[in-house]
Chain A
Amino acid sequence: MSDIPHTTFLDEVAALPACGKINECIQCGVCSGSCSTATHWEYPPRKVIAMVRAGMKDELLKSNSIWFCVSCYLCTARCPRDIKPANIVHGLESIAIKEGYKPPTTTTTMYRSFAQSIVDHGRVYEFGFMLKYFLRTNPFAALKMLPMAIQLFRHGRMPLAPKQVKGKEELTTIINKMGEGGDR
């Protein structure tokens, strides 16, 4: 099965970890009704699932939907069919990032800065990854964050240098090896 190339958008999504039950969704809407941030989504979670099944890849991945997911898992805890919408949403995010979609949000850049921090240091260095994010998106927005940064620093909550972790090399090896297997 692993040698058959993806045929549809639905296959591509269903092949991702913990996304395999997407076909069993009964479109009841409990996920959308529960979602912490649904009012911000162009297409709320139930619709996201319907669009995957209808093959509406471009419309979906060009929209701001999925990027507002705060991983509250209300959808997942309440879904009557155990679909795990939160996992599907994060799976869709990874497809969008890999395939270079440009949705109208800077959360994509935040994710990438976060991931880069893991690769660079083995652990997320909060201050560094936020700085990188602001430099890549809107350096002026960083000024707005300055009072918060000062507060954190004053309260001993913002170290000015990352820790160096030996496990970083191991992590890089694991990441590369996992990358070799492709997306199924």
Chain B
Amino acid sequence: MKYYAYYPGCSMEATGAPVEMSIHAIAKPLDMQFIELEDWTCCGSSPYAGVDKFKAIGITARTLAQAEKTGLDLVTPCSSCFTILHETNDLLKEDHRLADRVRGALAEVGLAYNGTARVRHVVEVLYNDLGPDAIAAKVVRPLTGLRVACYHGCQQVRPSYGFDDPEYPDWLDKMAAALGASPVNFPLKARCCGSSLVISEPATAVELIHKLLENASENGAQAMITTTCPLCHLALDGYQHAVNSKYRTKYNLPALAITQAIAFALGLDFKTSGLNGNITSPKKLLEPFMTAQPEQAKPETTAA
């Protein structure tokens, strides 16, 4: 069993709920335990940094200090939280004056920042600590022949923390392949979904989402497999209607977070996999795999 300090981030309690469900659903069968940080608070994300850079760093540092106390790696599914936490941790290790100021603020609430936390992303943990082979070994419901476009997004791979390739990553592709799916070429796999502007500049965000759906579909994808980031997932799963009405298109491409896809392939039902929460329903697409696979999968399971 592997243990992690888990930081879901604010969106996971709301728009990211289906992805959150899938992460907890696969943890046990994959021998992982995500222990939620007690009483965690917001990481600040980009908007708070745009309001007050210094206060934003103080907010982020609270989570880093809390994680240090656990002695475990700090893991988050949200790419925005991941970047903010990682970036702030690096910055505080470099900028001693700023670190002293942060220590002063944290001391007021009995916390200490030492720079010992290791900030990680759920996707990176699944890939590096578990790996496609270990995942493949547990698949009972392979997604054989399903053509998927694997969307990594921005902040999972950039700025670069030595985590996959910042321009053309492929860890999600490798994990999707481990589930039996066939990843298609997807040139825009690490371009932005525009989530941060979806409220205040929706036209710009919808323009970016349109490009992604267009690119995935041009390349023959029947579905998308996304990072666990709740913002990326919502953009692709939830905004297809908005894209369709603006661009007169007819996209209906189910977007499964990688953890939802893993949950399904491990044999979990729709509800437990969080798939009932998806707005672009993947039911029709996945049903054949539920009924047809057991016979096909049998010889493999008996052999194992």
Could you say which of A114, A137, A170 contacts B48, with CB atoms under 8 Å apart?
A114
With A17-B91, A98-B52 as contacts: A77 and B39 at CB distance below 8 Å: no
The answer to whether A106 has its CB under 8 Å from any CB of chain B is: yes
Stretch at the interface among B68-76, B133-141, B188-196, B250-258: B188-196
Q: Report the separation of the CA atoms of residues A94 and B155 in the bound assembly, to the nearest whole angstrom.
A: 21
With A36-B192, A90-B46, A158-B15 as contacts: A70 and B208 at CB distance below 8 Å: yes
Q: Report the separation of the CA atoms of residues A174 and B112 in the bound assembly, to the nearest whole angstrom.
A: 12
With A70-B192, A70-B195, A105-B201 as contacts: A36 and B208 at CB distance below 8 Å: yes
Q: Report the separation of the CA atoms of residues A117 and B213 in the bound assembly, to the nearest whole angstrom.
A: 32
The answer to whether B185 has its CB under 8 Å from any CB of chain A is: no
With A151-B238, A155-B279, A175-B58 as contacts: A68 and B204 at CB distance below 8 Å: yes
The answer to whether B118 has its CB under 8 Å from any CB of chain A is: no
The answer to whether A53 has its CB under 8 Å from any CB of chain B is: no
Taking CB as reference atom, which chain A residue is nearest B53?
A94
The answer to whether A115 has its CB under 8 Å from any CB of chain B is: yes
The answer to whether A5 has its CB under 8 Å from any CB of chain B is: no
Listed A/B pairs (26) with beta-carbon separation below 8 Å:
A17-B91, A68-B197, A70-B205, A72-B154, A74-B154, A76-B159, A77-B159, A94-B50, A106-B201, A107-B201, A112-B51, A114-B48, A114-B51, A122-B42, A123-B41, A124-B42, A152-B15, A155-B279, A156-B277, A167-B40, A167-B62, A171-B59, A173-B108, A173-B109, A174-B62, A178-B101
Stretch at the interface among B6-14, B172-180, B262-270, B289-297: B6-14
In the complex, the answer to whether B41 meets A130 with C-beta atoms within 8 Å is no
With A94-B51, A178-B101 as contacts: A70 and B196 at CB distance below 8 Å: yes
